[in-house]
């Protein structure tokens, strides 16, 4: 059980937590190759793919390599709904072809540039309530620039990019760096992210409470708290502090589009 009323520090993953893939760009690249898939269909497939991605990257030493992205993107294409499905024989060739286009040197910031609706407001409310916020992300050194570029950097007391820190989630040492930077007690800290193998396993190894993002109820796990987005996380924390929530059904539907 997470002691919501006692939480005073929140760690955030970045990819699929604060920022997501620019699926408009991905859709355009696929269209140029004769594949018609809408950004919304790709976004839904990406969420559906996460349990398979998590199981796969748990076996990989380097979580941020181009090979890992090819594996990840192939699973996204493989998880499209039937009406949007890519011919199976084309999935892996497309994933290999598009990896250097989408994930080549200097392109990470553009790829992960879609600001998830509701994120700035949720971060602002948590900061105004006196919580310390930090980022703990597996990346290639681009996290700081991405946060600055989307106007989010000022919300965070510290930013831990695995490339800079030298440790990748689920290694608890990246969380320990964040705890030290925030002068935080792990028993009063929550970490939220989208991949069980990196975020839940890593947070627990550091004594931090994990929260798994599951916007469409795709995860078949019941040993951790699952929430649809960080707006719901903020509501849970603020409710524990006796503060009212401000979510509308329309707002939640917009965040899932």
- For 143-151, what is the mean pLDDT? 96
Residue where one domain finishes, among candidates 107, 142, 163: 107
Tell me, yes or no, whether 242 and 172 share the same domain: yes
Is pLDDT above 50 for 250?
no
Under 8 Å between Cβ of 53 and 75:
yes
Tell me, yes or no, whether 173 and 213 share the same domain: yes
- For 100-126, what is the mean pLDDT? 94
Under 8 Å between Cβ of 15 and 27:
no
Cis peptide bond prior to 126, omega within 30° of 0: no
- For 13-22, what is the mean pLDDT? 98
Q: What is the pLDDT of residue 134?
A: 98
Tell me, yes or no, whether 120 and 239 share the same domain: yes
Q: How far apart are CA 140 and CA 157, in angstroms?
A: 20
Greatest Cα pair distance, the chain, in angstroms, is 54
Tell me, yes or no, whether 213 and 126 share the same domain: yes
Residue 174 CA to its chain's centroid (Å): 16
The token pair at 239 is: 């409710």
Residue where one domain finishes, among candidates 107, 136, 166: 107
Tell me, yes or no, whether 245 and 135 share the same domain: yes
The residue to which tokens 């050194």 are assigned: 141
Tell me, yes or no, whether 144 and 241 share the same domain: yes
Q: Please tell me the total count of domains within the chain.
A: 2
Sheet holding 189-193, edge to edge: 158-161, 132-137, 9-12, 189-193, 209-213, 225-227
Tell me, yes or no, whether 51 and 82 share the same domain: yes
- Ramachandran region, residue 107 (left: φ > 0; alpha: ψ -120 to 50; beta: rest): alpha
Tell me, yes or no, whether 131 and 157 share the same domain: yes
Q: What is the pLDDT of residue 137?
A: 98
Tell me, yes or no, whether 191 and 121 share the same domain: yes
Tell me, yes or no, whether 120 and 71 share the same domain: no
In tens, the pLDDT along 58-80 reads 776 554 556 889 999 999 999 99
The token pair at 123 is: 């971060």
Number of residues that this document lists for the chain: 257
Q: How many CA atoms lie within 13 A of 108 on its CB side?
A: 18
Tell me, yes or no, whether 119 and 102 share the same domain: no
Residue where one domain finishes, among candidates 91, 107, 123: 107
Could you list the residue range(s) of the whole structural domain that residue 85 is in? 22-107
Residue 218 CA to its chain's centroid (Å): 15
């Amino acid at each position: 059980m997470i002691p919501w009323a006692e939480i005073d520090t929140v760690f955030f993953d970045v990819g699929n937590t604060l920022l997501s893939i620019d699926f408009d760009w991905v859709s355009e690249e696929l269209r140029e190759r004769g594949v018609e898939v809408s950004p919304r269909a790709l976004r839904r497939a990406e969420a559906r793919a996460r349990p398979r991605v998590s199981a796969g990257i748990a076996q990989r030493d380097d979580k941020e390599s181009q090979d890992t992205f090819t594996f990840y993107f192939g699973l996204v294409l493989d998880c499209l709904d039937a009406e949007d499905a890519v011919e199976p024989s084309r999935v892996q060739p497309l994933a290999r072809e598009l990896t250097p286009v989408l994930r080549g040197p200097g392109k990470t910031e553009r790829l992960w540039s879609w600001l998830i609706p509701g994120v700035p407001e949720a971060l602002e409310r948590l900061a105004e309530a006196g919580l310390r916020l930090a980022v703990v992300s597996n990346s290639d050194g681009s996290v700081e620039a991405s946060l600055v570029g989307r106007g989010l950097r000022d919300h965070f007391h510290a930013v831990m990019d695995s490339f800079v820190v030298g440790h990748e989630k689920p290694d608890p040492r990246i969380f320990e760096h964040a705890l030290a930077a925030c002068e935080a007690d792990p028993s009063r800290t929550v970490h939220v992210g989208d991949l069980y193998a990196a975020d839940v396993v890593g947070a627990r190894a550091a004594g931090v409470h994990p929260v798994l993002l599951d916007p469409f109820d795709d995860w078949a796990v019941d040993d951790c708290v699952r929430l649809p987005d960080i707006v719901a996380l903020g509501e849970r924390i603020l409710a524990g502090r006796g503060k009212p929530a401000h979510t509308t059904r329309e707002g939640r539907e917009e965040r899932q589009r």
